[in-house]
Amino acid sequence: MKLEKVKIGIIGQGYVGLPLAIEFGKKHPTLGFDINKNRIDQLKKGVDHTNEASSKQLLNSEFLSFSSNINDINDCNIYIVTVPTPIDEFKTPDLKPLRAASQMLGEILKKGDIVIYESTVYPGCTEEVCVPILEESSNLIFNTDFYCGYSPERIVPGDKINTLTTIKKVTSGSTPEIATFVDDLYSSIITAGTFKAASMKVAEASKAIENAQRDVNISFVNELALIFDRVGVDTQDVLDAAGTKWNFLKYKPGLVGGHCISVDPYYLAYKAENLGYHPEVILSGRRVNDNMSTFVANKMIKLLIKAGKQIMGSKILILGVTFKENCPDIRNSKVADVYHELKEFGLEVEAYDYEADSKEVKQEYGIQLLDEIKDTYDGILLAVSHKKFSTINIESIKQDAKSIVYDLKGFLPRNQVDARL
């Protein structure tokens, strides 16, 4: 297949799929597909609620169209799958969206078609899980009638500097020839260049360890925060001092949520355990990070008690519920865990986040966001460092002189806070 002959169907139009559709749509006929009709209707109007793309970007992608009708992608010859790969309540891979997408594509797959997966998976998943579904539902033979590729997504939601085209792309294919084609395809849009991995399994593994490494590093400074809280020193003061050495890695403590860092390590651990190895470091890091919400809630209670506040009925304001700053993404937000933990102590807890979609937050976490801050509070917890939070007059929303401010991000001026994580 030649690049000038491709017609691309991108399955899933979320944080990963939409930027891909926009960039490919500048060069090749591209159809952005999503089963969510409301999402497609919005995109057709030039509206992206994730804030990853502007109306101008959507309209400037000359060869891009959108649809929620499976029949509209029948004539595509390249399919790129960008569906979510979450974990279930037992912290094991939930491959239902990936299986469903593979089943759907298998029913329309034709000879010569290529299916490229971008969804984060464990090493071997594409060939062990997706390919058999494609073969069974299409009655075609893998690497004879159709082919596969894997190119892990590296998009960071909310990051307007390190975008899709400026991050080097890892690519791979099910045969050497397909690997070269997939690499050439992505090279047509990625200005930072590409890296052709030795195999699809290698490409899958590379993605899993990117986020597992970051998770472990964050868990280390989170554990330091737990230790230094007992020592009685400010963790960020210690990190600032240690960071003066050139080879010190400058990670900060915090709540670890989102669609990647708090999920992907479990995929790698799942595969390892299936092969008879119990990963120690990866899972210990996960335990530390998963328990930070409880630590934060307990610390808030201790600060209120120390200030002489009565716990039952005290009013608390949480600033920010998204999993990171300056974006509306609420996936796997650990702030919600803090909210519910504080409620269990008998506190009256409210939350404000101008970035997040109120309906989504209510549906996902049962939290009704404030439209604006009108009240005063016994305690203020800054959980997310959204840019506009710097303009809030913290003193004006404190109930009295004993009200406490707990800053998890080291974002507010030091003289305005009682404690930092």
Q: Structural domain boundaries of the chain? A: 3-200, 231-421
According to the model, what pLDDT value does residue 409 have? 94
Q: Which residue has the higher pLDDT, 206 or 260?
A: 206
* Top CATH class, 3-200: alpha beta
Summarised one tens digit per residue, pLDDT across range 372-406 is: 999 999 999 999 999 999 999 999 999 999 999 99
Q: In this structure, are strands 348-352 and 369-370 parallel, antiparallel, or unpaired?
A: parallel
Summarised one tens digit per residue, pLDDT across range 147-166 is: 999 999 988 777 778 889 99
**pLDDT at residue 301 tops 80:** yes
According to the model, what pLDDT value does residue 143 have? 97
Residues with Cβ within 8 Å of 254's Cβ and at least 6 positions away in sequence, in order, are 218, 222, 292, 408, 409, 421
Rounded distance between C-alpha atoms, residue 355 and residue 385, angstroms: 11
Task: Give the pLDDT band of residue 112 (cuts 50, 70, 90).
Answer: very high
Report pTM. Answer: 0.92
Side-chain-facing half-sphere of 333: CA atoms under 13 Å = 27
Bridge-partner residues for 115, per DSSP?
79, 148
Rounded distance between C-alpha atoms, residue 343 and residue 301, angstroms: 11
CATH architecture under which domain 231-421 falls: 3-Layer(aba) Sandwich (3.40)
Summarised one tens digit per residue, pLDDT across range 89-107 is: 899 999 999 999 999 999 9
Helix (H) or strand (E) holding 29: none
Rounded distance between C-alpha atoms, residue 249 and residue 363, angstroms: 38
Domain 231-421 in the same topology as domain 3-200: yes
Rounded distance between C-alpha atoms, residue 281 and residue 359, angstroms: 38
Bridge-partner residues for 315, per DSSP?
348
Summarised one tens digit per residue, pLDDT across range 30-63 is: 999 999 999 999 999 888 888 888 888 888 888 9
Count of all residues that appear for the chain in the document: 421
Would you please indicate which residues are annotated as catalytic (active-site) residues? Answer: 260
Summarised one tens digit per residue, pLDDT across range 319-344 is: 999 999 999 999 999 999 999 999 99
Summarised one tens digit per residue, pLDDT across range 184-234 is: 999 999 999 999 999 999 999 999 999 999 999 999 999 999 999 999 999
Could you say which DSSP state residue 191 is in? T
By mean pLDDT, which of 2-6, 24-28, 194-198 is the weakest? 2-6
